[in-house]
Amino acid sequence: MRGKELWNFMFAALLGVSMVTSSAAEQGPADTIKSLYAQAYGIGGNSGKSGIDEKLAPRFLDGALVKLYNQALKDGRLDADFFVQGQDFAITKPIEIDKVEIHGEKAKVSATLTQSFGSNPSDVKHFVFLLVKTKSGWRIDEAFCGGDSLTNWWKR
């Protein structure tokens, strides 16, 4: 390769790396919610997952919620899991994202979670997640389900 050809090749290569790095780092708020459920809960009653824990919390929750989660864990107030609305879970399919609204550094994600429990083969819960964009990506700042909020759930 000669001067201009080498320059064009290097520019294209750098542009490609830049685009891949950018797209991986630029995941949206819906991706955060999908990743939370995939990594913490999985699919099925025997997914091998046990829900959100102290290792996963910082990856999905904003700083204030991480502190509240850790305090609730320390105080023994985590008998049930807000993100599945109970102690046990048997998620039948990936969480469905119904609507995403982004306003600058804040976002609102509406989602539907479907589980199956013995005599109730289709237990559906509707969630609203409020997220903030941090230097590490989108993090959950608050969540609501069935008239209750995540912060209230963890303060009980």
131/108 Cα distance (integer angstroms): 6
Amino acid 50: pLDDT: 85
Amino acid 43: pLDDT: 86
**What are the domain boundaries of the chain?**
26-155
The radius of gyration computed from the CA coordinates of the chain, to the nearest angstrom, equals: 19
Does the pLDDT at position 117 exceed 50?
Answer: yes
- For 27, 100, 126, 135, the CA distances from 103, given in Å and listed in that order, are 15, 10, 22, 16
Phi, psi for 63 (deg, rounded to 5) = -50, -45
Find the range with the poorest average confidence among 57-71, 113-127, 142-156: 113-127
**pLDDT cut 70: percent of the chain above it:** 81
User: What would the pLDDT profile of 55-70 be if each residue is shown by its tens digit?
Assistant: 999 999 999 999 999 9
Task: Calculate mean pLDDT across residues 128-139.
Answer: 97
Does the pLDDT at position 3 exceed 80?
Answer: no
* Average pLDDT over the chain, rounded to an integer: 84
Fold entry, domain 26-155:
Nuclear Transport Factor 2; Chain: A, (3.10.450)
- For 10, 15, 20, 21, 127, the CA distances from 7, given in Å and listed in that order, are 5, 12, 20, 21, 51
Confidence of residue 44 (pLDDT cuts 50, 70, 90): confident
Cα–Cα nearest to 65, from 82, 88, 89, 49: 82
Start-to-end CA span in the chain (Å): 68
Does the pLDDT at position 89 exceed 90?
Answer: no
